[in-house]
Amino acid sequence: MEQQEVVAVADNVFDDVVERLAKKGIDVYIDGPSIIYLHKKTGYKLVEFIDGLGPASERLALEADLKKALKDAQRFIQVPLNDNQLGAMASFIQHIGIDNFAKSKVLKALNEKKYEAVPKLMQNYRVGRMGKKHTRPKVRQDYIARRRYEAELFSTPGHLNWQVELDDVEETLYPAQRNLSFEELRAVLKLAKRRAYNKLGIFF
Q: Which fold has domain 79-157?
A: Lysozyme (1.10.530)
pLDDT at 175: 46
pLDDT at 4 over 60: no
Domain with CATH 1.10.530.40 in the chain: 79-157
pLDDT at 43: 64
Mean pLDDT in residue range 160-185: 68
Of 138, 118, 135, 134, the closest CA to residue 126 belongs to 138
Q: Global pTM?
A: 0.65
pLDDT at 169: 65
The whole-angstrom separation of Cα 154 and Cα 150 is 6
Mean pLDDT in residue range 12-22: 73
pLDDT at 109: 97
- % of the chain beyond a pLDDT of 90: 26
Mean pLDDT in residue range 128-147: 84
- Read off the amino acid at residue 90: A
pLDDT digits (tens, 9 = 90+) for 43-76: 655 545 444 434 443 444 456 677 787 788 888 9
pLDDT at 165: 74
The whole-angstrom separation of Cα 196 and Cα 65 is 29
